[in-house]
Amino acid sequence: MKSNVKELDTLPNNAFSGYKLKMEKSSFFKGVFFAIFAYLLWGFLPIYWKILSDINSMHILGFRIIFSLLLVGCLLLASKNTSWLKFYRDRRKIITIILTSLTITFNWGLYIWAVNGGHTIESAIGYYINPLLSIVLGMIFFKEKLNILQLLAFIVAIVGVLILTILTGRPPWIPLGLAFSFALYGLLKKTVHFTALESLGVETLVASPIGILLLLIPFGTNRSFPDPHSLAYILELPLKPLLFLPLCGLVTSFPLYLFAKGAKMLPLSTLGFVQFLSPTLSFITGFFIFGESFPIQNFLALGCIWIAVILYTISLKGFNGTRPHE
């Protein structure tokens, strides 16, 4: 490392600037790769949740937390990394860490419940709205600049949300809940300085009491809490969900790991834009595979949001290697 620093010190100013710009672009495109991979996996997750639809959504969430902790914890401990277990020592960051964990737990719970309740398309709309909230949060907290096209994209998307609210007679709570919680999660992730794997370990460790409590609640029955037999019904289910259930830690942790790496390398506005890939895949899944209904107001609202996507895509054409905020 020291030799690299000395080499940089000997470079002329223009050569150093070119080297720095090259490294910034390299970091940017690596971040884009991680983010795209994460959102591709997230886009196909509704199919996985449907396989588990015979299991209560909150029980799935509980299993997701516990299995994720076991998976990530074992990987970290196998590499003799125990620093993440001492997160509580940083009192200045403890509140942020707890909020990060609670935010992603809420997001996963709402998402699983929405998909298995027949609201996959509504969840897709939420993840279309989410990048636009990320854009605003990036502008407010990290002083990321918006050009005219980006501002216009945001306004058009807001019009889509208003159309959906007016024509349905109520705010779109599922889309807004998913959009706001994941945008907030992306913001918080950029302020917590752990490696991607350490961050996942801390998040699931903090959420583990919630996961245990969820598994002890007899949802949909008249039994009292806590009930040690609350999961007995799972043993009576077909073989397929029983085989796929243990994978819930892997299929949710791996995309989050990729997302965490991408989030550290990209501006929040760019990170939000890449996310348009995931809801597109979810929308296709909900409409063509699950056969969910899609009323006219959804077409109008989604039309506005797709226009916003196109405008924002055009606005990013001139990326010049601007250094992301870390």
Which tens digit of pLDDT belongs to each residue from 312-323? Answer: 777 766 544 443
Separation between Cα atoms, residue 69 and residue 325, nearest integer Å: 29
**What's residue 21's pLDDT?**
59
Residue 246 located in a structural domain: yes
The residue segments making up the domain with residue 99 are 39-315
The runs of H, that is alpha helices, within 79-195 are 91-116, 120-142, 148-168, 173-189
Average pLDDT on 114-132 reads 88
Separation between Cα atoms, residue 33 and residue 304, nearest integer Å: 27
CB atoms under 10 Å from CB of 159, counted, come to 16
- Which pTM was predicted? 0.82
Compute the mean pLDDT over every residue in the chain, rounded to the nearest whole number. 83
**What's residue 17's pLDDT?**
59
**What's residue 2's pLDDT?**
46
Average pLDDT on 191-215 reads 90
Greatest mean pLDDT among 87-96, 133-142, 177-186, 308-317: 177-186
Residue 94 located in a structural domain: yes
Answer for the pair 272, 96: CB distance below 8 angstroms, yes or no: no
Residue 228 located in a structural domain: yes
Tens digit of each residue's pLDDT (9 = 90 or more) over 142-181: 777 777 887 888 888 888 888 878 877 778 899 999 999 9
Does the pLDDT at position 13 exceed 60? Answer: no
3-state DSSP of 27-94: HHHHHHHHHHHHHHHHHCHHHHHHHCCCCCHHHHHHHHHHHHHHHHHHHHHHCCCCHHHHHHHCHHHH
HSE on the CB side for 225, CA within 13 Å?
9
Nearest to 24 by CA among 267, 300, 224: 267
Q: What is the CA radius of gyration of the chain?
A: 21
Confidence grade of residue 62 (pLDDT, cut at 50, 70, 90): very high
Tell me which of 43-47, 110-114, 183-187, 298-302 is least confident.
Answer: 298-302
Residue 286 located in a structural domain: yes
Q: Which two tokens stand for residue 25?
A: 């672009």
Residue 181 located in a structural domain: yes
Residue 27 located in a structural domain: no
Tens digit of each residue's pLDDT (9 = 90 or more) over 239-296: 999 999 999 999 988 998 888 788 778 876 677 667 778 888 999 999 999 999 888 7
Residue type, 183: A
Number of compact structural domains in the chain: 1
Does the pLDDT at position 198 exceed 80? Answer: yes
Greatest mean pLDDT among 70-74, 166-170, 216-220: 70-74
Identify which has the larger pLDDT, 62 or 195.
62
Separation between Cα atoms, residue 73 and residue 78, nearest integer Å: 8
Residue 1 located in a structural domain: no
Q: Which two tokens stand for residue 9?
A: 């010190």
Residue 320 located in a structural domain: no
